[in-house]
Chain A
Amino acid sequence: MKPRVAVFKFASCDGCQLQFLNAGDELLKLAGQADIVYFPEARGRALAGPYDLAFVEGSVTTPADARRIIEVREESRYLVTIGACAAAGGIQALRNWADIEQYRRAVYPSPEFISTLSTSTPISEHVRVDFEIWGCPIDKTQLLAVTRSLLFGAQPVLPGHSVCIECKRSGNACVIVTRGEPCLGPVTRAGCGALCPAMNRGCYGCFGPADAHNMESFAALLADQGVRGDDAMRRLRGINGYVRPWRESADALAAKK
């Protein structure tokens, strides 16, 4: 029997699950290998669990979602998160440093209608996660590689090294060294193909922290480059700002201020 695959969405922009649809021909081939039984964005009929493989996009930001993710976990044999929201809380985790009541009041005329948690948290803070695919959005090739690996019954692997390795493999000119521009590449996980340096700009960390990183040295490097403390803090407190090493480093910079 073909494995049953489901795609769930929590707080997110849909960009990661869109990568399934962006896969084009490959999506059709995947459909020959697995039954995509739950995928509201692409399919009208939603079949109930259990699922062999669940992809979860988005972060947990509401009380209802905090309950729903537990149900999803219970229904799923193997749970893979897709994207920065699910792995790190996403850009919406910036609320974690703010007063949510103020946010709510400031922006909705009737804040009482809005049900939200004061934090946006990664899926792994709520349930056991079997594998995380990083990126904002995730890379299509990585998504397919992980899926293929699981179809073979093998634990997936993705590189955990820095963007710099991909950057040099692509023959980009380093923006730090040639232009003195800040770049998060040395502390960011590879996966995008060093897109930003290739586009002539510094990396802003959308793939989250590399597994080997040295945040202290990196913060010192930013300071050497003349990046102001609050600017450095903002750079780290970005798309993946709530993830541990970056959070701690940004908090340290904020405390110095």
Chain B
Amino acid sequence: MNEATRMPKAALDNLIAILGREGYRVMGPVARDGTVAFDEIRSAADLPVGIRDAQEAGRYRLAPGIDGEIFGVVNGAGSLKPHFFAPAEPLLEIRRERRGFKANEIASAAPPHAFIGVRACDLAALAIQDRIFLHDRFRDAHYELRRKDAFFVAVDCTRSAPTCFCVSMKTGPRATAGFDLALTELPGGFVARPGSPAGEAMIVKLGLSAAGGADEAAARALIDECARGMGRRMDTADLPRLLYDEAENPRWREVAARCLSCANCTMVCPTCFCHTVIDQTEIDGNMSRRVRKWDSCFSLEHAHIHGINLRPKIHDRYRQWLTHKLASWIDQFGSSGCVGCGRCITWCPAGIDLTEEVAAIRASAGKG
């Protein structure tokens, strides 16, 4: 395993076709309304070829990039998250019966999905969601059903957005786990390497032959250069302690003055898992669906208990989000809740940047 092969760009269509024939719904980044999101693709032409993204805090634009470059767009707001942990889905259907009711699970019967063009940070994020939905004390049936048969074609990052900091979070830019096949895009083709038996089989099906040393070296060089040029960084040294100790740092209030409490950061974060479950009941009162929807620690309802709100102020909620993400997550799940994808920075309408907030708290630590 792990032997690098050479894959011509034209073989991508072949890959998509094979996956389609094998029963997968093939998904890839598709440009729409000025950004990209994973959507169904039928051929490589559906991908944002020759386009690159320009990202900054609170700003995202697509613009012409390099001719023929297939994976020039780093990412958009949509990660893998919505495809496994759905933004809204019914879990139970509860029917009233003559005496009482009966609760039935709603099975989601979608075909398995294959994702093409997944970045290392998103694979890392999926592994984190696996911890929550599959490897904790309880397993989430809906998540598991979609997760178990998925196929992943990763793409190593040879270019980062200015908002990226996967190097700091040790999740990229090279895909190291969680994929079936990983591609590095070179000007003239891909270097492909398998990450699973299914990936190895796919290399055979595609008829790829071993890559030359030069190609491998070129791929490495591009990835290394991307790592060196990473737009942002975050000093993670002893972060949990820092954030716990600085729970009353004045910076929380300062950032809260800018924070809209709109929850965009948590919605785009590929690891955030908060959700709410509500009843959607037919008007005749005979059937109720228990529906799960993404929730956010920025909503007021999130910490409401009868008679009190435990996090009434925006600074309480901002601190909850950041402290959970970067600190208590480690206590809970053994890894940081941040993979350094930079989405929360780009998609915050107010342009709040967590790396800057952490740096500011670090700089003023102990002085509050």
| B251 CB, min distance to chain A CBs, angstroms | 16
Question: Could you tell me if A144 and B267 are in contact, using CB atoms closer than 8 angstroms?
Answer: no
- B residues 262-313 in Cβ contact with A at 8 Å: 262-264, 267-268, 280-285, 293-296, 298-301
Measured in the bound complex, the distance between the Cα atoms of B258 and A165 in whole Å is 18
In the assembled complex, A30 has its CB within 8 A of some CB on chain B: yes
Interface-centre pick from A147, A168, A169, A210 (highest chain B CB count, 10 A): A168
Measured in the bound complex, the distance between the Cα atoms of B201 and A21 in whole Å is 58
In the assembled complex, A40 has its CB within 8 A of some CB on chain B: no
Question: Could you tell me if B300 and A161 are in contact, using CB atoms closer than 8 angstroms?
Answer: yes
Question: Could you tell me if A168 and B294 are in contact, using CB atoms closer than 8 angstroms?
Answer: yes
Measured in the bound complex, the distance between the Cα atoms of B55 and A178 in whole Å is 9
- B residues 235-266 in Cβ contact with A at 8 Å: 256-264
Question: Could you tell me if A211 and B60 are in contact, using CB atoms closer than 8 angstroms?
Answer: no
| A2 CB, min distance to chain B CBs, angstroms | 12
Nearest A residue to B281 by beta-carbon distance? A148
- A residues 156-173 in Cβ contact with B at 8 Å: 159-162, 164-165, 168-173
1/0 per residue, CB under 8 A from A, across B74-117: the answer is: 00111000100001100000000000000000000000000000
The answer to whether A169 and B300 touch (CB under 8 A), given A177-B347, A200-B33, is: no
Nearest B residue to A143 by beta-carbon distance? B283
The answer to whether A212 and B261 touch (CB under 8 A), given A144-B283, A169-B267, is: yes
Question: Could you tell me if B282 and A29 are in contact, using CB atoms closer than 8 angstroms?
Answer: yes
The answer to whether A173 and B59 touch (CB under 8 A), given A33-B283, A211-B300, A214-B260, is: no
In the assembled complex, B184 has its CB within 8 A of some CB on chain A: no
Name the contact of A221 in the complex, choosing from B60, B77, B260, B282 (C-beta under 8 A).
B260
1/0 per residue, CB under 8 A from A, across B51-72: the answer is: 0000000111100000000000
The answer to whether A33 and B294 touch (CB under 8 A), given A160-B301, A177-B349, is: no
Question: Could you tell me if A170 and B61 are in contact, using CB atoms closer than 8 angstroms?
Answer: no
Measured in the bound complex, the distance between the Cα atoms of B35 and A26 in whole Å is 38
Measured in the bound complex, the distance between the Cα atoms of B60 and A185 in whole Å is 17
In the assembled complex, A187 has its CB within 8 A of some CB on chain B: yes
The answer to whether A178 and B58 touch (CB under 8 A), given A160-B301, A161-B299, A170-B87, is: no
- Which of under 10, 10 to 19, 20 to 34, or 35 or more describes the interface residues of B? 35 or more
In the assembled complex, B37 has its CB within 8 A of some CB on chain A: yes
A-B contact count (CB 8 A): 132
In the assembled complex, A180 has its CB within 8 A of some CB on chain B: yes
Measured in the bound complex, the distance between the Cα atoms of B174 and A110 in whole Å is 77
Measured in the bound complex, the distance between the Cα atoms of B32 and A220 in whole Å is 29
In the assembled complex, A112 has its CB within 8 A of some CB on chain B: no
Give every chain B residue within 8 A of A159 (Cβ-Cβ): 299, 301
Name the contact of A171 in the complex, choosing from B82, B284, B295 (C-beta under 8 A).
B82
| B77 CB, min distance to chain A CBs, angstroms | 7
Name the contact of B257 in the complex, choosing from A164, A168, A200, A216 (C-beta under 8 A).
A216
The answer to whether A165 and B260 touch (CB under 8 A), given A145-B281, A174-B349, is: no
Question: Could you tell me if B259 and A214 are in contact, using CB atoms closer than 8 angstroms?
Answer: yes
In the assembled complex, B183 has its CB within 8 A of some CB on chain A: no
Nearest B residue to A214 by beta-carbon distance? B260
In the assembled complex, B34 has its CB within 8 A of some CB on chain A: yes
Measured in the bound complex, the distance between the Cα atoms of B289 and A145 in whole Å is 12
Question: Could you tell me if B285 and A33 are in contact, using CB atoms closer than 8 angstroms?
Answer: yes
| A217 CB, min distance to chain B CBs, angstroms | 5
Measured in the bound complex, the distance between the Cα atoms of B76 and A172 in whole Å is 11
Interface-centre pick from A160, A173, A220 (highest chain B CB count, 10 A): A173
- A residues 115-172 in Cβ contact with B at 8 Å: 144-145, 147-148, 151-152, 159-162, 164-165, 168-172
Q: List 30 A-B contacts (CB under 8 A).
A: A23-B283, A29-B284, A148-B283, A152-B285, A159-B299, A162-B260, A162-B263, A164-B264, A165-B262, A165-B263, A165-B296, A168-B267, A168-B268, A170-B87, A171-B87, A173-B35, A173-B76, A176-B349, A178-B35, A185-B262, A186-B262, A186-B349, A187-B260, A200-B33, A212-B300, A214-B258, A214-B314, A220-B258, A221-B260, A221-B349
Known contacts A187-B260, A212-B317; 18 further A-B pairs (Cβ under 8 A): A26-B283, A29-B282, A148-B282, A159-B299, A162-B260, A164-B262, A164-B349, A165-B267, A168-B267, A170-B87, A173-B77, A174-B60, A178-B35, A212-B299, A212-B300, A213-B260, A217-B257, A217-B259
